[in-house]
Amino acid sequence: MTDRYAVVGNPVAHSRSPSIHARFARQTGQDIEYGRLLAPLDGFVEAVERFRDAGGRGLNVTLPFKLEAFAWAARRSPRAQAAGAVNTLRFDADGAFGDNTDGAGLVRDIEARLGLPLAGRSVLVLGAGGATRGVLGPLLEAGAARVTIANRTAARAVALVDQFVMSAPAQATAAGAPPGPGAPLRERLRGCGFDGIGGGFDLVVNATSAGLAGERLPIDDAVLAGAALAYDMFYSARETAFVAQSLAAGCPRACDGLGMLVEQAAESFLVWRGVRPLTAPVYEALRAELAAEAG
C-alpha cells in the first residue's frame, strides 16, 4: 500500500518538497505519495491530526509551524531539542516523533557537495532566527572552531548564544557526546550586531530572510573577500542578492541554499523510510528545473 506524506505550511504552494520526494521515491523504489498540506494559521494541530488519522505516515513542517510542531510532538530527537524546532514528523505507533534535519542538511551540503570540511573552521552566521537556531548545534558538532552569530537586532544574537550555552549540557547528554571538540562552548560561540562582526572567517552563512526582498546586507567587503565560501540559505532561480554581493566583494565562491533543501529532505526521507537517497542527481534535476522556470 502507498504510504502518504506531505509538507505542511502556510503558504505551501511554492514548496519544492513534493518534487524532491517524488524523485527520491522513484530512485529508491519506495512506494510513497507526497503532497502539500495548507494549514490555517490557527489550525496547525487540527490539520496534522486529520492527516495522521486519515492514514498519513509523516510530515515535513515549514514556516510558520516549526515551533508548534516541536510543542506537539510526543518525542523529539536530540537535534530537534537543541534547535527548539521540528521540521520532520513521523507518526509512530507510540506517538509522533519530531526531528530537525535542517542543520544536518546544511552541514552535508557544505562538506559533501561543496567539499569544505568544517573541522577547525571559523564560521560567521548572519541572522538569529529559526534557521540559525537549527544549524548551530550541527555546525559545532561538525567541529567548527568558532561560530559568530551576527544579527540586525544584536540582542537576539546574544540571547541565542546564551540560551544555547545554557542548555548545552543537556544536549550533550542527550546526544551521548559533548557538543564539539576543543575549547569550552562559551569560547567558541559569540553573538553580536552587524557592527561587531570582526574578521578572519572561512565560511559566511546568510540565514537572514533579507533575500526575500533582495536586500543587500551591511557586511564589510573584506569579511566576504576573506572567506573561502559564502553560503546563502535562501535559494532562487536566479542569482540571490547575497551570492551577488559576496562575489562582487571578492569572495572566491558563493552558492545558494538549494543543496541544503535537498539534503534536509534526504535526511527526512531517511527518518521515515530508513533509506538514504542519493542527493546529487536530485540537486542537478532541481537546479535545471529552476533554470527552465527562470527562462
Ligand X SMILES: NC(=O)c1ccc[n+]([C@@H]2O[C@H](COP(=O)([O-])OP(=O)(O)OC[C@H]3O[C@@H](n4cnc5c(N)ncnc54)[C@H](OP(=O)(O)O)[C@@H]3O)[C@@H](O)[C@H]2O)c1
152 binds ligand X per the rule CB under 6 A: yes
The correct pick among 162, 215, 221, 284 for binding ligand X (CB under 6 A) is 215
254 binds ligand X per the rule CB under 6 A: no
Would you say 74 or 291 has its CB closer to ligand X? 291
The correct pick among 44, 97, 231, 235 for binding ligand X (CB under 6 A) is 235
The correct pick among 82, 131, 197, 219 for binding ligand X (CB under 6 A) is 131
Residue 163 has a CB neighbour count (10 Å cut-off) of 14
1-40 residues in contact with ligand X (CB under 6 A) are: none
Angle between helices 17-28 and 280-294 (to 10 degrees): 140
153 binds ligand X per the rule CB under 6 A: yes
The sheet with strand 3-9 has its strands ordered as: 32-38, 3-9, 58-61, 88-92, 95-99, 75-76
102 binds ligand X per the rule CB under 6 A: yes
The correct pick among 6, 47, 128, 158 for binding ligand X (CB under 6 A) is 128
Q: How far is the CB of 180 from ligand X (least distance, A)?
A: 22
156 binds ligand X per the rule CB under 6 A: yes
Q: Determine the residue with CB nearest ligand X.
A: 129
Would you say 92 or 289 has its CB closer to ligand X? 289
264 binds ligand X per the rule CB under 6 A: yes
Q: How far is the CB of 62 from ligand X (least distance, A)?
A: 8
The correct pick among 27, 28, 209, 236 for binding ligand X (CB under 6 A) is 209
Specify the stretch interacting with ligand X by CB under 6 A; choose among 25-33, 47-55, 202-210, 238-246: 202-210
The correct pick among 12, 123, 192, 261 for binding ligand X (CB under 6 A) is 261
Binding-site ranges for ligand X (CB under 6 A): 102, 105, 127-132, 151-153, 156, 207-211, 215, 217, 233-235, 257, 260-261, 264
